[in-house]
């Protein structure tokens, strides 16, 4: 199946991206102002809680990215249009990076709160496993030389991973309540002050713009890559 | 023909000394490391054994993964197999059975004997064997499925491990808890369905 | 009197069109050569005829039936289907399980005069000997069509003549043969196609 994307469409992606880069920058400036300066500190954790504004959007978007990955794979199965595999391939490293950021910031948040760099609580552990699911997907693409076959196999793996996410979440939650009943996770923050919610949402929006920006860059690279491979074969 | 496929896999294992005597001895020796690492206090040894037996199981499955489809694909035997057997399902099921018999069954059967080294009581041994048995079946499903998916890749031992181990974690979590065997059965059934679909898809793709 | 008819065959590997508009007909007692350099698609063509690959276009008729069964075809591919770390004898035992046939090992090895290797590991055999061992599978069953992908590779002059004699004998018994090769072979091919 040939990639039916014209060169002008690639140019459009590039054009749209320049708007996105500006928006991302602006939203981040606004978001960071609110999160770092204008929002109240937590009455227990003080200012160290502000890392939540970086950690939580990362975590949300890492899960969101995998959902997009899985949906792209499923749509590929239905339509067999190769662009959807490229969607999945492009979003994988981005999702992996967000997962890593979530893990590191979660760890940094944990240090002043619990005194240790890592706690085996349900959410962090699930994030860790999600990171490995991303890693598996990315490595699989790299290890199969024939790109067409790699696309088809990775699509299957993407879906398998997605099916496993609820299973893993369920298992890790169960395991966690078994072993650490007394730990109250400061990371979940169930009832949240409106003054904290707004910066959080702004940061999430900023992250989303960033995600789309980088995604489009990666997608362009992948499309051009595919076209070059196709041309060299002919 | 189905029987032949299973017998063939068993013979290959037997001929190439990944047969059960070797693998069982190997893992017995790994388990024997436990007292040397942790000391000989009985209570601690028992806890360590009940946990590390699962690592022994996972290693047992992962170390000989290439036997599942890769070696037959590489040397051309898979061509013959796909031509001689009409349904891909029976090829895959034969693989499940043969692989489980060679890699997991010896481990499960040895638990009562090896358990004596670690002072396991009867009430502790039976649930352990049940959980290992059920969990290992699900793990074999997953291992076969991932093996089929990575037929075309080179040097896949670690790659397959990276893909498979996160998928094994639910099995491990519920496997070490002796009351969770119904959940293990559920997990294994889900693994069976996903694995069948993915393996058939893979074999069709690579069969060309 | 059987006939193998290939009509307008086209095959795609991924998105590449490997070959198209291939048509030819072979009758009982005839041998056909598919000639082409490496990567020209001759393996894809013979594998499509053998039924491994679904053709993009075109049809294959055996005996005027759209034979999707391929039961009458014996395919010997480029890879030898031999486990290097096992002995010749053990490999034959494994084949007998795969083909669901009881194979007399001595008779099997006698075909290409490989009896002296019966207990040796396949890894110690030369490439030519492995090829001859692989080709011995042709005689496991009485099939009507032989499809041989690169059978002459690694065979020296003497063994090439030996193989050609066996093919001729099969032709005389009414068999149809298709071979692929990237070099010229001294054999009365009824027809050839160059990819």
Q: What is the pLDDT along chain A (234 residues), one digit of tens a residue?
A: 456 667 777 777 777 777 777 777 777 777 776 666 666 666 666 666 777 778 888 999 999 999 999 999 999 999 888 888 889 999 999 999 999 999 998 888 878 777 788 878 888 888 999 999 999 999 998 888 788 888 899 999 999 999 999 998 888 888 887 765 444 444 454 556 676 777 778 888 888 888 888 888 888 888 888 888 777 766
How far apart are alpha carbons A32 and A22 in whole angstroms?
15
Q: Which residue of A has its CA nearest to B166?
A: A129
SS3 call for A46: strand
Banded model confidence at residue C100, pLDDT cuts 50, 70, 90 = confident
CA distance B151 to chain A (A): 9
Would you state the pLDDT for residue C140?
84
Q: Does C53 touch chain A (CB under 8 A)?
A: no
- In angstroms, the CA C141 to CA C103 distance is 10
Q: How many domains does chain C have?
A: 2
Residues C2 and C61 in one domain: yes
The CA distance from C90 to the nearest CA of chain B, in Å, is: 8
What is the nearest CA distance from B205 to chain A, expressed in angstroms? 8
Tokens (6 digits) for A123: 């959410």
Are both C103 and C45 inside the same structural domain?
no
Report whether A135 contacts B128 (CB < 8 A): no
Q: Do C15 and A230 touch (CB under 8 A)?
A: yes
CB contact under 8 A, B83 and C51: yes
Residues of B in contact with C98 (CB under 8 A): 4-5, 8, 77, 80-81, 84
Residues of chain A contacting B152 with CB distance shorter than 8 Å: 144-146, 149, 153
State whether residue B144 sits within 8 Å of chain A by CB: no
Residues 6+ apart with CB under 8 A from A13: A216, A219, A220
Looking at the DSSP assignment, which residues form a beta bridge with residue C33?
Answer: C179, C192
> How many structural domains are present in chain B?
1
Q: What are phi and psi of C76, to 5 degrees?
A: -115, 115
pLDDT at C13 > cutoff 60: yes
pLDDT tens column, B163-183? 999 999 999 999 988 888 899
User: Poorest-confidence range of A77-81, B24-28, C9-13, C169-173?
Assistant: B24-28
Pick the more confident residue, C96 or B84.
C96
Say how many C-beta atoms besides its own lie within 10 A of residue B143's C-beta. Answer: 29
Query: Does C171 lie in the same domain as C90?
Result: no
What is the domain extent for residue B68?
2-207
CATH code assigned at C26:
3.40.50.300
User: Are C128 and C149 contained in the same domain?
Assistant: no
pLDDT of residue A27: 75
Whether C181 has a pLDDT exceeding 70, the answer reads: yes
For the beta sheet containing C3-13, the strands, ordered from the edge strand earlier in sequence to the opposite edge, are C16-27, C3-13, C57-62
pLDDT digits (tens, 9 = 90+) for A70-100: 999 999 999 888 888 889 999 999 999 999 9
End position of a domain, from candidates C138, C162, C187: C138
Note the pLDDT of residue A38: 63
Range of the domain at C85: 81-138
Is the same domain home to C151 and C130? no
The residue extents of the domains of chain A are 27-38+51-182+193-223
Cβ neighbours of residue C144 under 8 Å, at least 6 residues apart? C2, C62, C72, C73, C174, C175, C176
**Lowest mean pLDDT segment, chosen from A42-46, B33-37, B95-99:** A42-46
pLDDT at A186: 47
Residue B48: predicted pLDDT: 84
Residue B102 DSSP label: H
Could you tell me how many CB contacts below 8 A there are between chain B and chain C?
A: 64
Q: Which residues of C touch B12 (CB under 8 A)?
A: 83, 86, 94
**Residue of chain B whose Cα is closest to the Cα of C100:** B1
Mean pLDDT of the C145-157 span: 90
Chains that touch C (3 or more CB pairs under 8 A): A, B
Question: Rounded to an integer, what distance in angstroms lies between the CA atom of residue B35 and that of residue C137?
Answer: 54
Q: Measured between CB atoms, which of C54, C77, C94 is closest to B12?
A: C94
Q: What is the pLDDT of residue A41?
A: 64
* pLDDT at res. A192: 63
Cβ of B33 under 8 Å from any chain A Cβ?
no
Domain co-membership, C32 together with C63: yes
Please determine, for residue C150, whether its predicted confidence score (pLDDT) is greater than 80. Answer: yes
Q: Is B173 near chain A, with CB under 8 Å?
A: yes
Average pLDDT estimate for B192-201: 94
Query: Could you report the per-residue pLDDT of C110-139, keeping only the tens digit for each?
Result: 888 888 888 888 889 999 999 999 999 888
Q: Give a three-class secondary structure readout of chain C.
A: CCEEEEEEEEEEECCEEEEEEEEEEEECCCEEEEECCCCCCHHHHHHHHHCCCCCCEEEEEECCECCCCCCCEEEECCCCCCCCCCEHHHHHHHHHHHCCCCCCHHHHHHCCCCHHHCCCEHHHCCHHHHHHHHHHHHHCCCCCEEEECCCCCCCCHHHHHHHHHHHHHHHHCCCEEEEEECCCCCCCCCEEEEC
Helix (H, G, I), strand (E, B) or coil at A149: helix
Q: Phi first, then psi: give them for residue B69, nearest 5 degrees.
A: -130, -30
Structure tokens at A207: 């992250």
Residue B68 has pLDDT above 70, yes or no: yes
CB contacts, 8 Å: C16 with chain A: 233
Q: What is the pairing mode between strands C145-148 and C176-181? A: parallel
Cβ atoms within 10 Å, residue C162: 17
Which residues in chain B have their CB less than 8 angstroms from residue C83's CB?
A: 12, 16, 71, 75, 77
Confirm if A171 and B173 have CB atoms less than 8 A apart.
yes
User: Rounded to an integer, what distance in angstroms lies between the CA atom of residue A191 and that of residue A173?
Assistant: 20
Contact C100 B84 (CB under 8 A): yes
- Residue ending a domain, among C97, C112, C138, is C138
State residue B124's pLDDT score.
84
Q: Residue A156's closest chain B neighbor by CA? A: B198
Residue recorded with tokens 């004699």: C165
State percent of chain B over pLDDT 70.
Answer: 98
Residues in C 13-42 with any Cβ partner in A closer than 8 A: 14-16
Query: pTM score, two decimals?
Result: 0.86
Tens-digit pLDDT profile for residues B127-164 = 899 999 999 999 999 999 999 999 877 777 888 999 99
């Amino acid at each position: 199946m040939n990639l039916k994307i014209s060169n002008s469409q690639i140019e459009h992606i590039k054009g749209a991206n320049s708007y996105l880069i500006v928006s991302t920058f602006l939203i981040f400036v606004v978001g960071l102002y609110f999160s770092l300066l204008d929002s109240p500190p937590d009455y227990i954790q003080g200012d160290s809680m502000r890392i939540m504004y970086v950690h939580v959007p990362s975590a949300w978007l890492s899960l969101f990215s995998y959902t997009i990955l899985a949906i792209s794979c499923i749509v590929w199965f239905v339509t067999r249009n190769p662009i959807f595999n490229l969607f999945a391939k492009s979003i994988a490293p981005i999702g992996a990076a967000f997962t890593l950021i979530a893990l590191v910031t979660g760890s940094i948040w944990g240090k002043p709160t619990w005194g240790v760099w890592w706690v085996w609580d349900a959410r962090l552990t699930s994030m860790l496993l999600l990171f490995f699911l991303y890693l598996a997907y990315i490595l699989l693409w790299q290890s199969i030389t024939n790109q067409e076959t790699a696309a088809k196999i990775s699509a299957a793996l993407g879906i398998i991973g997605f099916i496993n996410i609820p299973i893993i979440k369920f298992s890790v939650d169960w395991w966690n309540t078994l072993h650490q009943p007394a730990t109250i996770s400061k990371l979940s923050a169930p009832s949240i002050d409106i003054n904290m919610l707004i910066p959080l949402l702004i940061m999430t929006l900023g992250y989303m713009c960033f995600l789309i920006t980088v995604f489009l860059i990666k997608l362009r690279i992948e499309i051009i890559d595919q076209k070059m491979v196709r041309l060299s074969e002919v | 023909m189905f029987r032949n496929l299973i017998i063939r896999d068993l013979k290959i294992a037997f001929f190439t000394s990944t047969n059960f005597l070797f693998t069982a001895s190997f893992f017995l020796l790994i388990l024997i490391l436990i007292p040397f690492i942790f000391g000989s206090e009985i209570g601690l040894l028992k806890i360590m054994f009940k946990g590390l037996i699962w690592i022994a199981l996972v290693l047992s499955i992962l170390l000989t993964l290439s036997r599942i489809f890769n070696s037959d694909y590489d040397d051309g035997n898979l061509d013959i197999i796909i031509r001689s057997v009409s349904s891909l399902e029976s090829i895959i099921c034969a693989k499940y059975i043969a692989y489980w018999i060679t890699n997991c069954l010896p481990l499960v059967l040895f638990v009562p004997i090896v358990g004596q080294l670690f002072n396991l009581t009867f009430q502790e041994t039976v649930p352990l064997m049940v959980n290992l048995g059920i969990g290992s079946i699900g793990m074999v499903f997953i291992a076969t499925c991932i093996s089929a998916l990575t037929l075309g890749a080179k040097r896949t031992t670690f790659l397959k491990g990276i893909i498979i181990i996160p998928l094994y974690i639910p099995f491990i979590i519920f496997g070490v808890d002796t009351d969770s065997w119904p959940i293990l059965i559920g997990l294994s059934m889900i693994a069976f369905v996903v694995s069948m679909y993915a393996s058939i898809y893979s074999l069709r793709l690579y069969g060309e | 009197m059987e006939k193998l008819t290939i009509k307008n065959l086209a095959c795609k590997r991924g998105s590449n069109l490997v070959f198209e508009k291939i048509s030819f007909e072979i009758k009982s007692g005839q041998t056909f050569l598919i000639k082409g350099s490496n990567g020209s698609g001759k393996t894809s063509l013979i594998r499509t005829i053998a039924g491994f690959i679904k053709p993009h276009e075109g049809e294959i008729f055996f005996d005027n039936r759209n034979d999707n069964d391929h039961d009458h075809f014996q395919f010997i591919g480029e890879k030898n289907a031999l486990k290097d770390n096992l002995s010749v004898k053990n490999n034959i035992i494994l084949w007998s399980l795969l083909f669901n046939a009881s194979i007399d090992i001595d008779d099997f090895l006698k075909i290409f005069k490989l009896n002296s290797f019966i207990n040796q590991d396949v890894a110690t055999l030369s490439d030519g000997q492995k090829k001859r061992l692989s080709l011995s599978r042709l005689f496991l069953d009485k099939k009507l069509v032989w499809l041989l992908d690169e059978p002459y590779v690694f065979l020296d002059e003497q063994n090439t003549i030996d193989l050609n004699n066996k093919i001729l004998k099969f032709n005389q018994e009414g068999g149809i043969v298709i071979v692929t090769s990237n070099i010229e072979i001294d054999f009365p091919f009824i027809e050839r196609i160059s990819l």
